[in-house]
Amino acid sequence: MAITANGEQSPVVRMTVEEVRTRNADPVLNYIFFDSGSAKFPSRYVTYASPDEAKRRFEGSSERHDIKLMNLYRETLNILGDRLRKNLGISIVLHGCTDNTDDRSFGNGSDKSLLALARSRAETMRDYLINVWQIDPKRIKVEASMVPEKPSPFSTPEGRAENRRVEFRAEPSRNPQNDELLSQPIVVTNIEHLATPDRIDLIPTVSAPIVRSYASISAGGVELQTFAGSGSSAKEEKVWAPTEETLNKLRDSLNIDYDVWDSAGNHAHARSSIPLNIIHVTSDRPERVERFSLILFGFDESRLDRRNDYAIRNAAEMIPEIPVKRILIQGYTDETGDPIHNDELSQERAAEVQKRLLELLAKSETPLPKEVHSEGRGSHDLLYDNRLPEGRFFSRTVNITIERGP
């Protein structure tokens, strides 16, 4: 079954996958993360050896083409340097932090050593901005504390990795736009894929007593998603929402297999095939999708902060300027924590964004399209690599997708 924008179920008889031009407002994460006990930049960050190399190789901090968000994040040091170079009125604060646990391998493990490590991390970042991007040292203030002001949990390795960081922000000034200039999204134009329907629900009808179940979605002999469960979960609805990476690979048809076993060892199997219709992009078509990503939700929080509100305002200002077919607001979480709680949290995040967006549109007296839908995806669809702290932060997000009409 497919779920329509108004929440009704509709049988899936075909899935259309269309190549579309997308214009994404990708966020800038204002954290640089460090390895345990180290003040050196991890190798995954893009760094330059000299001002001349930065000038030759850096491709810009406002607009990009055909680059994924995680690769864009790896250039954060240079995005920051370029923006400081172009906006001479902005001074920044670099705040170094530790995890207060694993980082005690540094020095003699004392609190004094931890503070020294935190400061050294911030100084490493300061020195790079001075030496490579030639930023006036007077514009950079260094601070340090053993832990961040809003830390992730210290009880898990993932939380501690997120706390080993340098945070950057604009120093308070008479110009409140400085922080926005520093952290404004980067516009990235890509060729992506749009699926209709964009999610499929598997709703099994089985008879008790079932002790085990297994569902699989595959295409071209490649398994795309599986769901394994016990008897208690055999009747539960399973949701499949294909990621961009999956949509890029889809060909021919989808095959959905569902298997159940009872306590006597009997086995039943059901299969359904859904044909695919692949539509390739044409050169004369404009961007079909505008997408605004929001991050900087605190760990386990759904409250909107000032930077998120800035992104929502950008979306609200664009809607009256283009023919809008549909607005889809999707909340996500990282994979840590209880999945049921993550579902609820992602729904709360999406609902907060929808509420704020509708407030702004009502204030400007902008007519709403017929389809405005918000949903929580929880951690079922991980957007980014959750083995990395930045991947977990970027996964704590809400995407506003604005689909153009004809």
pLDDT band with cut points at 50, 70 and 90 for residue 4: low
Per CATH, the architecture of 288-404 is what?
A: 2-Layer Sandwich (3.30)
CATH assignment of 28-187, among 1.10.10.10, 3.30.1330.60, 3.20.20.70, 3.40.50.1820: 3.30.1330.60
253 beta partners? 275
Token code pair at residue 390: 């930045």
The mean pLDDT value for 362-369 works out to 89
Measure the CA–CA gap between 63 and 404, rounded to whole angstroms: 21
SS3 of 53, please? helix
Which of 15-29, 70-84, 220-234 is the least confident region? 220-234
Phi–psi pair at 16, nearest 5 degrees: -100, 130
End-to-end Cα separation, the chain, in angstroms: 26
Tokens coding 24: 């994404």
Tell me the three state secondary structure of residue 141: strand
- The residues, any chain, with a CB within 8 Å of residue 29's CB and separated by 6 or more, are 73, 76, 295, 296, 390, 393, 394
- Predicted confidence at residue 251, as pLDDT, reads 80
Neighbours of 120 (CB within 10 A): 18
Identify the pLDDT of residue 322. Answer: 85
Out of 214-223, 239-248, 355-364, pick the least confident.
239-248
pLDDT on residue 282:
64
- SS3 of residue 164 by DSSP: coil
Common-topology check for domains 28-187 and 200-240+251-279 = no
Lowest mean pLDDT among 54-68, 107-121, 254-268, 303-317: 303-317
Per-residue exposure over 31-58, b if at least 16 CB sit within 10 Å of its own CB, e if not: bbbbebbbbebeeeebebeeeeebeeeb
pLDDT at 379 > cutoff 90: no
Highest mean pLDDT among 51-55, 64-68, 104-108, 241-245: 51-55
pLDDT score at 69? 92
Report which of 314, 320, 335, 306 is spatially closest to residue 365, judged by C-alpha positions: 320
Domain boundaries, the chain: 28-187, 200-240+251-279, 288-404
pLDDT band at 336 (very low <50, low <70, confident <90, very high): confident
For residue 200, give the nearest of 9, 395, 376 by alpha carbon. 9
Helix (H, G, I), strand (E, B) or coil at 186: strand
Q: ∠ at Cα 333 (329, 339), nearest 5°?
A: 115
Greatest mean pLDDT among 107-111, 196-200, 208-212, 382-386: 107-111
Query: For the chain, what's the residue count?
Result: 406
Find the mean pLDDT for residues 52-56. 97
Look at residue 5 in the predicted model and tell me its pLDDT: 56
Assess contact for 24 and 187: CB atoms under 8 A.
Answer: yes
Burial, 393: exposed, middle or buried (Cβ in 10 Å; 0-12, 13-18, 19+)? buried
Residue 195 CA to its chain's centroid (Å): 19
Across residues 220-228, what is the average pLDDT?
87
Q: What is the pTM assigned to this prediction?
A: 0.80
- For the cut 70, the answer to whether the pLDDT of residue 93 exceeds it is yes
Given 2.60.120, 2.60.40, 3.30.300, 1.20.1070, which CATH number is that of 200-240+251-279?
Answer: 2.60.40
- pLDDT above 90 covers a percentage of the chain that reads 53
Asked if the model's pLDDT at residue 141 lies above 90, the reply is yes
Average pLDDT over the chain reads 89
How are strands ordered across the β-sheet holding 140-144? 31-33, 165-170, 92-96, 140-144
Whether 250 has a pLDDT exceeding 70, the answer reads yes
Question: Which region among 2-6, 171-175, 205-209, 298-302 has the lowest average model confidence (pLDDT)?
Answer: 2-6
Q: What pLDDT is stored for residue 294 in this prediction?
A: 82
What is the spatial distance between Cα 308 and Cα 356, in angstroms, rounded to a whole number? 10
Decide if pLDDT at 284 tops 60: no
3-state secondary structure of 173: coil
Confidence of residue 286 (pLDDT cuts 50, 70, 90): low
Distance (Å, rounded) from C-alpha 318 to C-alpha 358?
13
**Which range is least confidently modeled, 32-36, 80-84, 272-276, 305-309?**
305-309
Q: How many CB atoms lie within 10 A of CB 283?
A: 5
Packing angle, helices 111-133 and 76-86, rounded to 10: 60
pLDDT band at 187 (very low <50, low <70, confident <90, very high): very high
Residue type, 278: I
Q: Does 129 have pLDDT greater than 60?
A: yes
